[in-house]
């Protein structure tokens, strides 16, 4: 029989029973698991753990998987957007709208006929940043070093596209190079 302790509290007496074996085993297993985990994974400042795991490495791997998964979709969407832009180059309304935006925002540097002033000539065959539609869009949106400002904050997407269409139409014009 268990030994009854000499003290009581509010009329309740306590027995001196040992801790159950299953609870002691659970405590020991949990403690050993925690120590092993702390050694294997980074758990302390300036300690990288034996596994070499880090949140940044995990994030980088996740981004590689996501990039591989969505790259074909992005490429297809970009292709469709560029095809739509090329189709707009035959639309006189879009070309005229682009000319108006170009005259207002771009002509101070590129000249009224895009012949080049401070900015480069846009009617010749020599381009610094390539003359593909995606490169033209990138130049207008993001700007370029040595003076070309980024217009994405001043122009909406339709204006950017219309200017790109207008610039692409300059290459086809009779006035090219003048």
Query: Regarding the domain delimited by 80-170, which CATH topology (the fold level of the hierarchy) does it fall under?
Result: Cytochrome Bc1 Complex; Chain D, domain 2 (1.10.760)
pLDDT of res. 15? 79
pLDDT tens sequence across 29-64: 999 999 999 999 998 888 889 998 889 999 999 999
CA quadruple 123, 125, 130, 136: dihedral, nearest 10: 20
CB contact set of 111 (below 8 Å; sequence gap of 6+): 117, 119, 121
Q: Residue 117 above 90 pLDDT? A: no
Q: What is the pTM of this model?
A: 0.55
Q: Which residue has the higher pLDDT, 33 or 121?
A: 33
- Asked if residues 43 and 49 have their Cβ atoms less than 8 Å apart, the reply is yes
Give the separation between CA 110 and CA 121, rounded to whole angstroms.
6
CB contact set of 82 (below 8 Å; sequence gap of 6+): 133, 134
- Asked if residues 154 and 148 have their Cβ atoms less than 8 Å apart, the reply is no
C-alpha torsion sign, points 7, 9, 12, 15: negative
Give the separation between CA 49 and CA 144, rounded to whole angstroms.
44
| Over residues 16-22, mean pLDDT | 89
pLDDT tens sequence across 65-84: 999 999 998 888 888 877 87
Give the separation between CA 64 and CA 98, rounded to whole angstroms.
38
pLDDT of res. 173? 54
**Ranges of each domain in the chain:** 4-40, 80-170
Q: Name the average pLDDT for the chain.
A: 85
């Amino acid at each position: 029989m268990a030994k009854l302790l000499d003290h009581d509290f509010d009329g309740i007496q306590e027995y001196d029973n040992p801790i159950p074996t299953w609870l002691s085993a659970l405590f020991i297993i949990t403690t050993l698991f925690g120590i092993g985990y702390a050694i294997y994974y980074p758990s302390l400042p300036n300690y990288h753990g034996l596994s070499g795991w880090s949140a940044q490495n995990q994030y980088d791997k996740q981004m590689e998987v996501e990039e591989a998964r969505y790259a074909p979709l992005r490429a297809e969407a970009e292709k469709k957007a560029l095809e739509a832009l090329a189709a707009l180059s035959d639309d006189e309304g879009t070309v005229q709208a682009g000319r108006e935006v170009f005259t207002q925002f771009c002509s101070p540097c590129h000249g009224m006929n895009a012949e080049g002033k401070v900015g480069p000539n846009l009617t010749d065959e020599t381009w610094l940043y390539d003359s593909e539609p995606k490169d033209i869009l990138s130049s207008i949106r993001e700007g370029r070093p040595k003076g070309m400002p980024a217009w994405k904050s001043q122009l909406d997407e339709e204006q950017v596209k219309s200017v790109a269409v207008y610039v692409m139409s300059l290459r086809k014009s009779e006035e090219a190079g003048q």
